[in-house]
């Protein structure tokens, strides 16, 4: 089983729709969680951190469910510019060296159509 798993998609939704993805992780000791966005043939860029209480940034909402070991990303009122691959990122356990080991999911492709 992969340490971090995502539905690869693609999710193909119309502009204005609401779309949600989940990401599951296997290590219950994981400490921090993030969503990254990667455009085609570009480098990943941080979209938002995921906090235990859930957090929102404009049209984007991130949630963490430690009991079920998954994080989610909700995009409301989707725009054409939201088309990208969304990577979930889970950090390692406590400890100096292992804190540097960050696990990326393989990504969920999202395509917004006009």
Partner 1 sequence: NAGVTQTPKFQVLKTGQSMTLQCAQDMNHEYMSWYRQDPGMGLRLIHYSVGAGITDQGEVPNGYNVSRSTTEDFPLRLLSAAPSQTSVYFCASRNGQTLNDYGYTFGSGTRLTVV
Q: Which residues bind partner 1 (CB under 8 A)?
A: 4, 8, 31-32, 34, 36, 42-46, 49, 87, 89, 91, 94, 96-97, 99-107
Closest contact distance (angstroms) between CB of 2 and partner 1 is 8
Q: Which is nearer to partner 1, 3 or 15 (CB)?
A: 3
For the CA atoms of 106, 56, 64, 29, the dihedral, rounded to the nearest 10 degrees, stands at 80
Q: Which is nearer to partner 1, 23 or 78 (CB)?
A: 23
Closest contact distance (angstroms) between CB of 111 and partner 1 is 17
The two tokens of residue 80 are 């054409």
Helices (H) and strands (E) in the chain, counts: 0, 11
Q: Which is nearer to partner 1, 58 or 94 (CB)?
A: 94
Closest contact distance (angstroms) between CB of 85 and partner 1 is 10
Q: Which residues of 37-52 are buried (b: 16+ CB within 10 A; e: fewer)?
A: bbeeeeebeebbebee
Rg (CA), the chain: 14
Closest contact distance (angstroms) between CB of 62 and partner 1 is 14
- Least Cα distance to 5 among 87, 92, 65 occurs for 87
């Amino acid at each position: 089983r992969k340490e971090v798993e995502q539905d690869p998609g693609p999710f193909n939704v119309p502009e204005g729709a609401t779309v949600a993805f989940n990401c599951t992780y296997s290590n219950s000791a994981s400490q921090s969680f993030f969503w990254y966005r990667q455009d085609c043939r570009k480098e990943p860029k941080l979209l938002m951190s995921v906090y235990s209480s859930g957090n929102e940034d404009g049209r984007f909402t991130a949630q963490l469910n430690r009991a079920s070991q998954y994080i989610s990303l909700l995009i409301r009122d989707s725009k054409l510019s939201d088309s990208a691959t969304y990577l979930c990122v889970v950090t390692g356990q406590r400890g100096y060296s292992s804190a540097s080991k960050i696990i990326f999911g393989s990504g969920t492709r999202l395509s917004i159509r006009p």
